[in-house]
Structure formats: C-alpha cells, structure tokens
Amino acid sequence: MTSAVHSVGPLTPHLYAPDAMRPLRAKEHFLQADTQVELHQHPWPQLTFSTRGVIRLSTTDGSYIVPPSRAVWVPADVPHSISLMEYAELRTVYLHPWLGPHWERCEVLEISPLLRALMLALDTTPDGLPPADPHAAQRERWIAPLLVDELERATQIRIDVPLPADKRLRQLCETLLRNPAGRATLAERAAAIGASERTVARLFRDQMGMSWQQWRQQAVLAHALPLLARGMAVSQVAAASGYATDSAFCAMFKQATGKSPTAFQHRKKP
C-alpha cells in the first residue's frame, strides 16, 4: 500500500530574504517521507541539500536528484518544487542576487567538506525572531565570499532528467519515465511516435545535448535513487529499472555516481 503524498506550501522563503546586510540566509526543515513542497519561485538564487535523505527538485525543464553528498543550485526566478522520498533534513541557503555564481540553469554539485561546513555554520533563525547567534549578520558577510568561491570550484554532476520541447520527443521521454522497466529499443520507441530512430537520435543531441543512452541513464538514476532510499533491495531496483542483471545495473550506477547502490540505501526514521 502506497503512502499518500502530503503537499505543503513553499516553506516561508519570505522570512529568509537575503539583503545587503545579510547576503546569505539559511533555513532548515525536517520533513516526512512523501512530502511535496509546492511549486514556487523567489527573486534570489538558492542552494539546497539534505543532511539526510534523497530529494527530487523539479522545474518546468526537468528533475534533479539530490542525495546527501550533493547540493542543487537553483537560479533566481526559476519555479521549482521539491519531493521527498523519505524522511529528510533539508537545508537551504539563499544568496543575495549580486553574489556569484551566475549560472543560468540548475546545477547538481558535489559538496566538499568545506562547503558543507560553511552552509551548516549559518544561522537558521527566520525574520521576526532574535538570531541564535547575535553575530549572525557579521558571520554571514564573512562566510559569503568563501562560500561563493567554494561553489565555483565544486564539481558539477549530471543527475538530472531534462525534458525536451519537441512534443513527439517529450511523449517518448514521458513514456519511459512512466515505465523505466520497459526494455523497448530506441527504434521501437521512435516508431511509436511516428519517427525514425535516426530522427529521434538527432533530436536528443540537438535539444538536450546528450544521446538517448545518456538521457535514459539519467532517467534510470532518477527512478532508482528514491527506491534505494526506501531500502528496496538492489536486485529489485535493478529489475524495476529495466536491467537484466544486478551487475550491469551496479556498474552503470557506480560509473554515474561514483558510489555503489548500497551507499544510497537508508533506514527510514521511525
């Protein structure tokens, strides 16, 4: 029996608005599994990660999978929502718009120990309450340039599932997302939307800057990570992701993430 999705509002970003005096603002939330943070946007960029739990951040252009070892950058004014597949301890840092980096699209980043320490050092008290640290504003101004420098040095990792503008190609992509275990070939999937395999392959390269195989791998990771986070056996996740053998799935997974599937299995908080 599946759990019902619990929808919540955008977690009061207006109470953490960065400004010239406080260019970095941080907030933390402890959210239960199957929580959906509704679509929202704000005029400043953000960096989001979870100290525990895998999250999925979605925009109109696709989805980004964020395990605890990574963070996702969201530019200013980009509508986004967040889905939690398990209990998660969520930390978000808002940056004043004049701070760098000025990336125009969402990016999944590897979190260095220093970057993690800087984000966790920020006060998380909302406006209207006295900060837990009376020197919070001063510390935020000191931390800001170092945090931005560390951000710009961070390794960018593709754990996202972009969606194309072409209607036929989008139909093909959404069919696979609904059934990642399906083993139809690209030629068979292309025929189902009235196109040739060559045409579909070209559209993937032109519209998304990646091959069909690369896009399918991203879709499989997006499907597999939440299942692993729920504690599902690797063999079951491999089968649900369309892989005939566990070894083939594990090899793909480790090449893409740098870790084995078992590294992403977590015991749910009671």
CATH code: domain 164-264 is 1.10.10.60
Where along the chain do the CATH 1.10.10.60 domains lie?
A: 164-264
- Distance of alpha carbon 97 from alpha carbon 86, whole angstroms: 32
Predicted confidence at residue 185, as pLDDT, reads: 92
Instruction: Tell me the pLDDT tens digit for each residue of 179-208.
Output: 888 889 999 999 999 999 999 999 999 988
Predicted confidence at residue 4, as pLDDT, reads: 58
Instruction: Tell me the pLDDT tens digit for each residue of 122-180.
Output: 999 999 999 888 899 999 999 999 999 999 999 887 777 888 888 899 899 988 888 88
Q: How many CA atoms lie within 13 A of 180 on its CB side?
A: 22
Instruction: Tell me the pLDDT tens digit for each residue of 173-182.
Output: 988 888 888 8
Is the pLDDT at 270 greater than 60? The verdict is no
Where along the chain do the CATH 2.60.120.10 domains lie?
A: 6-157
Share of the chain above pLDDT 70, in %: 94
Share of the chain above pLDDT 90, in %: 48
28 DSSP β-pair partners: 91
The average pLDDT across 234-252 equals 92
Contact 38, 8 (CB under 8 A): yes
pTM over the 0.85 mark: no
Predicted confidence at residue 43, as pLDDT, reads: 95
Predicted confidence at residue 121, as pLDDT, reads: 95
Predicted confidence at residue 85, as pLDDT, reads: 67
The average pLDDT across 208-217 equals 90
Enter the tokens of residue 198. 């060559």
Predicted confidence at residue 1, as pLDDT, reads: 39
Higher pLDDT, 225 or 216: 216
Instruction: Tell me the pLDDT tens digit for each residue of 70-113.
Output: 899 999 999 999 988 678 888 999 999 999 788 988 988 989 99
Predicted confidence at residue 191, as pLDDT, reads: 95
CATH code: domain 6-157 is 2.60.120.10
Instruction: Tell me the pLDDT tens digit for each residue of 12-70.
Output: 889 999 999 999 999 998 888 778 888 999 999 999 988 887 788 888 878 888 877 78
